[in-house]
Amino acid sequence: MGIAHVILNEDLYDKNFIRNWTAGFSEYADLVLRHYPPERVAGITGISPEPIRRIAGEFARTKPAIAWVGTGASRWPNGSYKAYAIFCLNALVGSIDVPGGVIYQENPGYRDMPAVTQDDIAHKGQELARLDFGQMTRFPAAEVVTHQVADSILMEDPYPVKAALG
């Protein structure tokens, strides 16, 4: 987030990519600029502000540059948020779907998934609070918070689980 702060603050981001391929940029930029200056990030990480600034500048000026999550950052509590923050760097510098950047397979296309039919039990289950607290107050931006499920089951929070299939 400190790297993102520098890229935004120094106007090093790819405005064309942001304008044409992103949603929610102003909210993201506001969050980053308000809460993650390199000095604050230094206090959190133990890395002084100067290397954060230097790496941010090098990353933004290298075309293409790739920020990759790997398994280290994402296998800890709040790993989904860490992965989102890291992949946002690729969007900031326009390194998505460009040669040498992060490329997503588009062809051959995949077959459509079969339609899901839910019975009364499924509908009843959909009304319960999510065990991973994704898209709820604890993790409002996360689609899935896999690491939270085991804790929720063990702590019986938000409710006791009688059976789980994985």
Kindly report the average pLDDT of the chain as a whole number. Answer: 91
CATH architecture, range 2-92: 3-Layer(aba) Sandwich (3.40)
Q: Where along the chain do its domains lie?
A: 2-92, 120-155
pLDDT-based confidence at 140, cuts 50/70/90?
confident
Judged against a pLDDT cut of 90, whether residue 92 lies above it is answered with: yes
pTM of the entire predicted model:
0.67
Instruction: Determine the average pLDDT of the residues in 6-27.
Output: 96
Please give the Cα distance from 57 to 117 (Å, whole number). Answer: 50
Evaluate the CA torsion angle 100, 68, 50, 15 in order and state its sign.
positive
pLDDT-based confidence at 136, cuts 50/70/90?
confident
Judged against a pLDDT cut of 80, whether residue 166 lies above it is answered with: no
Q: Nearest 5°: phi and psi at 134?
A: -65, 140
The C-alpha torsion from 9 through 15 and 19 to 22, rounded to 10°, is -60
